[in-house]
Chains A and B, each alone.
Chain A
Amino acid sequence: MSPNVNVIVLRTAGTNCNEETAYAFQYFGARVEQVHINDLTSGKQKLKNYHILALPGGFSYGDDIASGKILANELRLSLGQDLCQFIKEGKLVIGICNGFQILAKAGFLPRTPSQGDLKDLKQQVTLTYNDSGRFEDRWIHLRPEGRCVWTQGIDGVIYLPVAHGEGKFVPRDQNLLANLRKSGQIVFRYCTSDGKKPIYPENPNGSMDDVAGICDPTGRVFGLMPHPERHFRVIQHPFWTRLEKIDGLGDGARIFENGIHYIQSHFFKKLKLSTAGVSSSTQDDQ
């Protein structure tokens, strides 16, 4: 038996993409638990027992006040120390859509190297109202760049859906944006189908510099507005009936697989050596 990669999919009132996010990790062999934040704050469950924290999409607390804001505060104030420790230990965090909004508003993204401790965390970017003034569900193209462990091996343009009303990326200032670019913290940008500079609706929300996803300086904490779990299989592609190959995995699956592989290669190396010959259960199906 290979050891399990333990994934916590955190949920609270209004979280709603937890099932399919959990499924994506499970598919690659992880042991996934969907845990209510009340169970972490009460101490019934411990963050340290997991390798990967996933903050799925949804409308936490109704996105009242602003998207993700209330959960961002709760996370920072009640679990901030634990989460800082979690990240320090080399573990992984992914925030999708509402999860990205939460990480950004709690200051865990983008984070600069000088912000080592919880007390230094400060909101530096936001995801605000789409320029169109409304919620939109549409498929968009993304061009990968930067240094993020979650997107290793994704070289070309990928196709994922977005579904949000507040996804416009705005940094504190232009300096920050330039620094993020330099430090490889911009992970995805919206683009045209052939990877060129987009206009609306290719950039679906008016994000500055077309930014769709960013990571922290370690590349292990990742947030993005598009939904990789919704293009997990080819059959979720909006025009799969026009494609040759319809079985198999879609463009978003690689992100979850990368997360699992990273933990396996960084946390289970020694174990793996001692159980040589037993291959990970996650390798099939590829």
Chain B
Amino acid sequence: MIWRIEIKDKKGLFDSAGESVRKDILELGITSVKEVNVVQVYLLEGDISSSEIEKIASQLLVDQITQEYQIINSSDPYPQDSSSKSHRRVEIAYHAGVMDPVEESTLKGIRDLGINGVCSVRTARAYTIKGPLNSRELDTVVNKILSNKLIQQVVDGSPLRRKKAKFVAAGKNPKIDRKIVGQHFQLNIIDLIKAKDRQLKEISLQGQLFLNLAEMKAIQNHFKRIGRNPTDCELETIAQTWSEHCYHKTFRGQIRFQSRENGKVKTTLIKNLLKSTIVKATQTLNRPWCVSVFHDNAGVIAFDEETNITFKVETHNHPCALEPFGGANTGVGGVIRDSLGTGLGAKPICNTDIFCFACPDLPFSQLPAGTLHPRRIMKGVVSGVRDYGNKMGIPTVNGAIVFDDRFVGNPLVFCGNVGIIPKDKVTKKVHQGDLIVLVGGRTGRDGIHGATFSSGELTGESEVISSGAVQIGNPIEEKKVLDGLLQARDRGLYRAITDCGAGGLSSAVGEMAQDLGCRVDLEKVPLKYQGLQYAEIWISESQERMVLAVPPNNIDELLAVFQREDVEATVLGEFTDTHRLELFFLGCQVCDLDMEFLHQGIPLITKTAVWKPPQLKTPRVMESADLTAKLAKVLSHGNVCSKESVIRQYDHEVQGSSVIKPLVGIYTDGPSDASVLRPRLDTHKGIALANGINVRFGQIDPFWMAASCIDEAIRQIVAVGGDPRRIAILDNFCWGNPDKPDRLGSLVRAAQGCLKAALELGSPFISGKDSLYNEFTLGKKSIAIPGTLLISAIGIIDDVRRCVTMDFKAEGNIIYIVGETKAELGGSIYLETFEQLGQEVPQVNFKQAVKIFTAVHSAMEKGWIKSAHDCSEGGLGVALAEMAFSGGLGAQIDLSKVPYKSRERRNDWILFSESNSRFLVEVSENKQKEFEAAGGDIPLAAIGRITKNPECELRGLSGEVCVKARLSDLKEAWQRPLRW
């Protein structure tokens, strides 16, 4: 029997969900909708009496104070469908196979009522849209706001068909009866040995393996040697292990790099890009506080006597392009599992999330087919991050949003997580005989081919062929895993752990067993529903799962710990000493691979990379005498403007650790440079978190983009009080197709910039990740994203009570600029407001930068600095305005005092140059002498004073007023664009 329960708000109450939809419809330019009401629909199936259904509805599903319900049974006449042109009703449900996020907990709630006959719960939402709407408009609303056809569908048809259709469509997900699963299964052997090149390519393409011909041939040769054909499962395992996503072929392979500069052509052979740049910087710096770098799921640095800090940033770009909420949701979930899978498991303490989107006001007419509108992507991504982070109870404390229209088909979503781990839990080692235990969520068809999918380019058809790669997370499942895991860790119940991420069990178990070998019985894996093939079980990327290596003696205690947290834990097999990956399904062997071939057999490919500086036009910009309007315009730029509407949706204070919040100042709405946390509630030791990202600099020279990003990330941490000698950094490269020499050339150039800047500034890399093939192909046209480097930085702060925020503190204090301003306007926001890129990208004077960071830090330690802000996008002008309105105090500034090195004496250049290594700092009059003396030979100058008058007044090089603006106007310009 199927029951349908509809729940809606009582009359007279404000329907906030409906109102949000109405606003979204208005944003589409459809102005006729007056009101939207939302009805929550539950579909319950099972052996349930009418009194039981009444009880479920009244005691569980409805809020008696604000809502009312209606029960409809499949034999009742359905209430007349009241849809008309002025009154549309649309119902949206999930596709079969897509996890309904509320099913599990609703079933629990029903069982708690003492009702055990319900076997399935599915939900849907019905929207009543009031106001005239034609069919085309309705279609737009449904596709652009109410549903994503990858995971959802409109339920239509006559009332009776509607119910039936729903149940067929929504499907039921009966829990699996393991005896039935695959009793009759067929072992699939792929005829590889005899295949010709063309067939090899076809096998790779049809299997979505994304293996190139050389790789397919290496596999063919291997199987020729052992005299048999591979099973599908073996081929899938190799494809996953060798995928760009998992193996990082580009960074670890050979590159023939040709650089064409100043008419000279120089060719070098790079043996291993990662080792010769990123890793080399860390090895050379050899910092004693780097505990574990590059080899675990996250980098580990020392924190205090008892604990270390872990940090990892991942990307989840392709899934977010297709299903922004689910993509971002599982992106956050995935990087949290990286922390859980570092050492013997770190406790996650904060998240950081950085996004790159096309501009939110992009006209729909310019949207390539098969892509979602950037506004929709942004809202979905933010919601996905909010949902997972908030529900896991992990504060999201840092981030950035970059807008550039080349991200239209391929947004970037970086998700980072910081963890804390006891010093004695950092190392892990699997022993022969340890049991392989899978804990967490059940396995379904979710995310099949995610690892290989992200190693190819997106196309207009990606949304159709790769829909299996899309999934929705279940943060509460992961929270339960976390709760159980930390108890098991502290009791020493397991010897090693890793997360199931891209590649699923194949990647997790394959990695853990790399040096030993293993034997797994795939039918033991708990499934969400029946019908999965053994190979699907092996490579499924279902979320919220971890793999443990457990000594047999501890297994009972371990299983009991997880049982108490209502988490499934299952023994799948054991680690052996055979150096083989042996998989069985119902006693039949489905995979028998040599570990050495699997992990070392990939053929070394030499890629070609070419770098030549782009041909750029000299910027042509007329300088206005009055730069007030220009300052407002720069403040309104998407990259500069306030992100408050996003930040507030994230719980940035859970765990009680926040010291410097992302929003600071007297009105708690100013933009902090970095966030500071106290990971342990009983000490004042802290960490600071910041990031550097700038895609426009990379259009001029990726080398200086990399140096600038590192400089920016470090100076933001210094700006809040971090010690420049205790900063570790992470790299995330997101680039286009590395098989195209120009894309790879700029990637190499950026990596070289990373090496140079990290070495000179003294900040080691501790972890990183690359995501390549970020291109969107439509027909013959290929849109590559601008090569994007994200530098994430983490610093240790001995006493958070000495931290400084960026808001002006007191009238009369002196405003200094520290660092040198140059006519480096290339890639600046200022030039972008004229739609120009410019030529002179900001460089870094490394020796001077180190001196500046050291001087600013020591002045902060002495308490001389009352506020500090780094000058980055928008330059001095933006930094000054932000400090002023965040503190509710004005400023009088004389630009002629700014240390400025150029023959082009222009006020706009000084105001908006984005030269690196610069700070604005506030010093009280009585500390002026000490501060200046301590500066030594670094360029610094008093450029003005803080005033009570709520106004910024700037005088130019010849003494004339060039900016005069009220704080309220500057703030409005800064807040308005993303006040959603």
Contact with B along A23-63 (1 / 0, CB 8 A): 10000000000001011000000000000000001110111
Taking a contact as CB atoms under 8 Å apart, the answer to whether B109 and A23 are in contact is no
Contact with B along A134-173 (1 / 0, CB 8 A): 1111110000000000000000000001010000001110
* Residue in contact with A77 in the complex, picked from B17, B112, B803, CB distance below 8 Å: B112
Bound complex: CA of A16 vs CA of B666, how far in Å?
29
Taking a contact as CB atoms under 8 Å apart, the answer to whether A74 and B112 are in contact is yes
* Residue in contact with B655 in the complex, picked from A19, A73, A129, A171, CB distance below 8 Å: A19
- What is the CB-to-nearest-CB distance from A36 to chain B, in angstroms, rounded to a whole number? 6
By a CB distance below 8 angstroms, the chain A residues around B564 are 36, 38-39
Taking a contact as CB atoms under 8 Å apart, the answer to whether A65 and B801 are in contact is no
Does A258 sit within 8 A of B, measured CB to CB?
Answer: no
Taking a contact as CB atoms under 8 Å apart, the answer to whether B651 and A135 are in contact is yes
By a CB distance below 8 angstroms, the chain A residues around B70 are none
Taking a contact as CB atoms under 8 Å apart, the answer to whether A66 and B386 are in contact is no
Does A174 sit within 8 A of B, measured CB to CB?
Answer: no
Does A85 sit within 8 A of B, measured CB to CB?
Answer: no
Given known pairs A59-B476, A170-B66, A238-B663, the reply for A227 and B653 (CB within 8 Å) is yes
Contact with A along B819-841 (1 / 0, CB 8 A): 00000000000000000000000
Does A179 sit within 8 A of B, measured CB to CB?
Answer: no
Given known pairs A16-B654, A70-B108, A138-B668, the reply for A132 and B16 (CB within 8 Å) is yes
Bound complex: CA of A64 vs CA of B475, how far in Å?
12
* Residue in contact with B109 in the complex, picked from A13, A16, A65, A78, CB distance below 8 Å: A65
Taking a contact as CB atoms under 8 Å apart, the answer to whether B681 and A23 are in contact is yes
- What is the CB-to-nearest-CB distance from B868 to chain A, in angstroms, rounded to a whole number? 11
Identify the stretch in B55-63, B330-338, B353-361, B950-958 within 8 Å (CB) of chain A at 4 or more residues. B55-63
Taking a contact as CB atoms under 8 Å apart, the answer to whether A38 and B566 are in contact is yes
- By beta carbon, the residue of chain A nearest B102 is A64
- By beta carbon, the residue of chain B nearest A229 is B656
Does A236 sit within 8 A of B, measured CB to CB?
Answer: yes
By a CB distance below 8 angstroms, the chain A residues around B515 are none
By a CB distance below 8 angstroms, the chain A residues around B803 are 241
Given known pairs A13-B480, A137-B648, A235-B800, the reply for A64 and B101 (CB within 8 Å) is yes
Identify the stretch in B390-398, B460-468, B710-718, B971-979 within 8 Å (CB) of chain A at 4 or more residues. B390-398
* Residue in contact with A61 in the complex, picked from B105, B664, B666, B867, CB distance below 8 Å: B105
Taking a contact as CB atoms under 8 Å apart, the answer to whether B101 and A66 are in contact is no
Identify the stretch in A119-127, A183-191, A212-220, A261-269 within 8 Å (CB) of chain B at 4 or more residues. A119-127
Which positions 108-127 of chain A face chain B at CB distance < 8 Å?
Answer: 123-126
Does B65 sit within 8 A of A, measured CB to CB?
Answer: yes
Taking a contact as CB atoms under 8 Å apart, the answer to whether A73 and B59 are in contact is yes
- What is the CB-to-nearest-CB distance from A47 to chain B, in angstroms, rounded to a whole number? 18
Bound complex: CA of A74 vs CA of B112, how far in Å?
6
Contact with A along B12-48 (1 / 0, CB 8 A): 0110110110000000000000000000000000000
Does A206 sit within 8 A of B, measured CB to CB?
Answer: yes
Bound complex: CA of A23 vs CA of B681, how far in Å?
8
Given known pairs A64-B105, A137-B651, the reply for A238 and B14 (CB within 8 Å) is no
What is the interface residue range for chain B against chain A? 35 or more
Taking a contact as CB atoms under 8 Å apart, the answer to whether B476 and A73 are in contact is no
Does B64 sit within 8 A of A, measured CB to CB?
Answer: yes
- By beta carbon, the residue of chain A nearest B680 is A23
Identify the stretch in B440-448, B750-758, B804-812 within 8 Å (CB) of chain A at 4 or more residues. B804-812
* Residue in contact with B666 in the complex, picked from A20, A62, A242, A246, CB distance below 8 Å: A242
Does A10 sit within 8 A of B, measured CB to CB?
Answer: no
By a CB distance below 8 angstroms, the chain A residues around B665 are 239
* Residue in contact with A235 in the complex, picked from B393, B653, B659, B867, CB distance below 8 Å: B659
Taking a contact as CB atoms under 8 Å apart, the answer to whether B664 and A17 are in contact is no
Does B254 sit within 8 A of A, measured CB to CB?
Answer: no
Bound complex: CA of A74 vs CA of B105, how far in Å?
12
Taking a contact as CB atoms under 8 Å apart, the answer to whether A236 and B649 are in contact is no
* Residue in contact with B63 in the complex, picked from A11, A36, A126, CB distance below 8 Å: A126
Does B565 sit within 8 A of A, measured CB to CB?
Answer: yes
Taking a contact as CB atoms under 8 Å apart, the answer to whether B681 and A129 are in contact is no
- What is the CB-to-nearest-CB distance from B621 to chain A, in angstroms, rounded to a whole number? 38
Which positions 642-674 of chain B face chain A at CB distance < 8 Å?
Answer: 647-656, 658-661, 663-666, 668
Does B316 sit within 8 A of A, measured CB to CB?
Answer: no
Taking a contact as CB atoms under 8 Å apart, the answer to whether B102 and A62 are in contact is yes
Contact with A along B196-225 (1 / 0, CB 8 A): 000000000000000000000000000000
By a CB distance below 8 angstroms, the chain B residues around A14 are 391, 476, 479-480
Contact with B along A1-21 (1 / 0, CB 8 A): 000000000010111110110
Does A100 sit within 8 A of B, measured CB to CB?
Answer: no
Contact with A along B783-807 (1 / 0, CB 8 A): 0000000000000000011011101
Taking a contact as CB atoms under 8 Å apart, the answer to whether A133 and B20 are in contact is yes
Which positions 529-579 of chain B face chain A at CB distance < 8 Å?
Answer: 564-566
Taking a contact as CB atoms under 8 Å apart, the answer to whether B106 and A65 are in contact is yes
Given known pairs A73-B113, A135-B390, A229-B656, the reply for A239 and B479 (CB within 8 Å) is no
- By beta carbon, the residue of chain A nearest B394 is A16
Taking a contact as CB atoms under 8 Å apart, the answer to whether B65 and A125 are in contact is yes
Bound complex: CA of A249 vs CA of B432, how far in Å?
52
Does A232 sit within 8 A of B, measured CB to CB?
Answer: yes
Enumerate the 5 nearest inter-chain pairs by beta-carbon distance, A residue then B residue, closest first: A16-B393, A20-B656, A126-B65, A133-B16, A64-B102
A136-B649, A163-B651 are known contacts; what are 9 more A-B pairs with Cβ within 8 Å?
A13-B476, A59-B391, A64-B102, A70-B106, A126-B65, A133-B16, A229-B656, A241-B807, A242-B666
